[in-house]
Amino acid sequence: MSDEQAFSGSILRVFEARAKSGCAGALAKKFATTSADVVRNQPGNQGHFFGKSVSAEDDVFLFVSVWRDLNAVKARFGDDWESSFLPPGYSEFIEECSVKHFALRTDWRSGE
């Protein structure tokens, strides 16, 4: 099955990052500015939002973007679309990171 068949419809791209010790505030500022600029006004982008772990001991952040389809994700992030995209200046604040993609559905009864 091709990617287009397996992932038809909107795609949620979830970037998760754990801040280095003492860097949570700086990473949050980067997310609010640079990360938003990475997706804002890109063809196929349908929006974005941020999240932070509610645990006081866990400096994990999410940057989530919503895309029209998998082709829009690939157009923005290229051949490395399945890898984390770190704009300049991020690596100094991040301990570890990952990216995952999810097909958005409102009904799973179809079995796909």
* CATH code of the domain in which 34 resides: 3.30.70.100
Residue 19 domain-assigned? yes
Structural domain includes residue 22: yes
pLDDT of residue 109: 64
pLDDT at site 6: 53
At residue 7, the pLDDT reads 56
Is position 111 within any domain?
Answer: no
Region 40-56: what's the mean pLDDT? 91
Phi and psi at 52, nearest 5°, equal -135, 140
Mean pLDDT of 62-76: 95
How many separate domains does the chain show? 1
Is 109 a domain residue? no
pLDDT at 3 over 70: no
Q: Quick one: pLDDT at residue 4?
A: 46
> Which residue did the predictor score with more confidence, 40 or 4?
40
Q: Tell me the pLDDT band of 2, cut-offs 50, 70 and 90.
A: very low
3-class SS at 64?
strand
Domain assignment present for residue 54? The answer is yes
**Mean pLDDT, all residues of the chain:** 86
Q: Name the pTM for this structure.
A: 0.83
CB of 82 within 8 A of CB of 11? no
What range defines the domain where residue 18 resides?
Answer: 3-103
DSSP reduced 3-state for 97? strand
Residue 90 falls inside a structural domain: yes
